Structure 1
Amino acid sequence: MARKEKEQDSENPGRLKQIALTYKMTRRADRWIGWVISAVGLGTFGVVLAIGFLLGHPVYLGILGALVGLLATAIVFGRRAERAAFSQMEGQPGAAAAVLENMRRGVAFTPAVAINRNQDVVHRAVGKYGVVLIGEGNPNRLKTLMAAEKRRMNRVVSDVPVHDMIVGKGEGQVELQKLRQKILKLPRVLPGARVTEVNDRLRAMGDLMNNLPLPKGPMPKGMRMPKGNVQRRGR
């Protein structure tokens, strides 16, 4: 029993440290985060406490207000922290891959199925909506990369719908923080077994980055691909 309590106590400092690090990271992109979450927490507590005085139960409603205030603070902090993280990742090569790798089950994600020396890269996601090609980089160069990848895929999955999206803030592009939601809103046309079959066929073609030792997440700015690792086309 004592050992279990000791283990729980040892976990708390780690959680608190993680929260502190998240707060510091968020504050770099959102300098008002401290004021906002304080206002949310105290405001929520004040409203519930005022209702408690009106109903003649300030103690009970005060306790409830404190709990609701903490919950509201956690929700607002979580959303603003996520937004800050996306803003710091925006524009970095590989940022979309970092987001898509955390998508829920039922989505088969393969990063960097096509890439060129300018760091323009195309990722692939397979789900009940079909196949989605996600491009990061220069929109004009990505059109060529994505068109070549579509022709390559058409040889093995010609009957599957293929959607393409380019990550960015320009016209017709998808913002990084909205990418996951955009994909999940696509109409579902394939059963689960068919998704597995399609993904297996595509992976059987071979992926450009299978044997390339790249770190996970966004790639450092200024990193250039070796001349040998360019766009792969089917032969």
Structure 2
Amino acid sequence: MSSAAPAPATGRVAQMRQAYRITKTSDPNIGLILLFWFLLVGGLLAAVNLLIFDRSTLGIILAAVFGVLSGTLAALIVFGRRAERAAYAQVEGQPGAAASALQMLRRGWDVKPVVAFTKSQDIVHRVVGRPGVILVGEGNAHRVKSLLASEKRKHARFVGEDVPVIEVVVGRDEGQTPLPKLTRKLQRMKKAISPAEQTTVINKLKALDAQRPAAPMPRGPVPTSAKAARKMMRG
């Protein structure tokens, strides 16, 4: 049992190295940026620690340790945010990229990628959460709006008038939601249904899905699980 313990740590180190390499391709100054935050936060908090406590040998050692730990934490936080941004940049614009982002949603959300799809690579994904039913479209701005409108009518018939059916278009144009901000936008939506109603809606939509053939999978980064999505977003 003890001999297998180091394996997960090795895996995490390898993931960090891979994430760093990917981030550096789109953020060449990542090393200097992390060093800056390490020195700034670590040095500042170490100095504050020395001002508050005594400047004995023990006090200096404790201040140094506290500074190193604080600086490392700050660097890791900055790195995490920039690595996430780099991961989104890697897949943004590819068919199915929105599905990868949606799979990052945690508990309380039911995500079904590719509920509708055209030969022109216009895709609609579905998310059911406390805000209601959210249809997420990606592809050509004009075509995907028509596809979303059609899917909204179909879903509204099954879930009823009391459940909101919300349309979101992923993109960089006016009125669209950039891929890196997609999950945050959904999480900030106003809650409109209870958890019990959410379960009922999910069951109703299973009947809708059963009435039509499965949409063909587009060529692109469409993951089949949250685990696959996170692996793909890490590169």
| TM-score relative to the length of structure 2 | 0.85
Alignment partner, residue 157 of structure 1: 159
Alignment partner, residue 192 of structure 1: 195
Alignment partner, residue 19 of structure 1: 16
Query: Alignment partner for residue 177 of structure 1, among 155, 176, 180?
Result: 180
Matches within 5 A, 1:1-235: 3-4=1-2, 6-54=3-51, 55=53, 56=55, 57-159=59-161, 160-206=163-209, 210=214, 212=216, 217-218=221-222
- Give structure 2 stretches of 5+ with no counterpart: 224-235
- Give structure 1 stretches of 5+ with no counterpart: 220-235
Kept in 2, the 8 Å contact 1:167–1:175? The answer is: yes
Deviation at 1:138, TM superposition (A): 0.7
Kept in 2, the 8 Å contact 1:42–1:69? The answer is: yes
Alpha-carbon distance in structure 2 between the residues aligned to 1:111 and 1:94? 8
More helix by share: 2
Alpha-carbon distance in structure 2 between the residues aligned to 1:48 and 1:128? 41
Alpha-carbon distance in structure 2 between the residues aligned to 1:171 and 1:213? 28
Alignment partner, residue 233 of structure 2: none
Residue 156 and residue 217 in structure 1: after superposition, are their counterparts in 2 closer, same or farther (change >3 A)? same
Kept in 2, the 8 Å contact 1:136–1:142? The answer is: yes
Can you list the C-alpha shifts for 1:63-97, whole angstroms capped at 9, x where unaligned? 11111111111111101000111111111111110
Deviation at 1:33, TM superposition (A): 0.6
Kept in 2, the 8 Å contact 1:92–1:218? The answer is: no
Deviation at 1:216, TM superposition (A): 8.2
Amino acid at match of 1:217: P
Deviation at 1:217, TM superposition (A): 3.2
Alignment partner, residue 233 of structure 1: none
Amino acid at match of 1:137: G
Alignment partner, residue 231 of structure 2: none
Alpha-carbon distance in structure 2 between the residues aligned to 1:192 and 1:212? 31
Give me the CA root mean square deviation.
Answer: 2.0
Kept in 2, the 8 Å contact 1:86–1:176? The answer is: yes
Kept in 1, the 8 Å contact 2:115–2:215? The answer is: no
Alpha-carbon distance in structure 1 between the residues aligned to 2:46 and 2:131? 48
Deviation at 1:218, TM superposition (A): 4.1
Alpha-carbon distance in structure 2 between the residues aligned to 1:147 and 1:169? 20
Runs of 4+ in 1 over 4 A off after TM superposition: 211-216
Residue 152 and residue 185 in structure 1: after superposition, are their counterparts in 2 closer, same or farther (change >3 A)? same
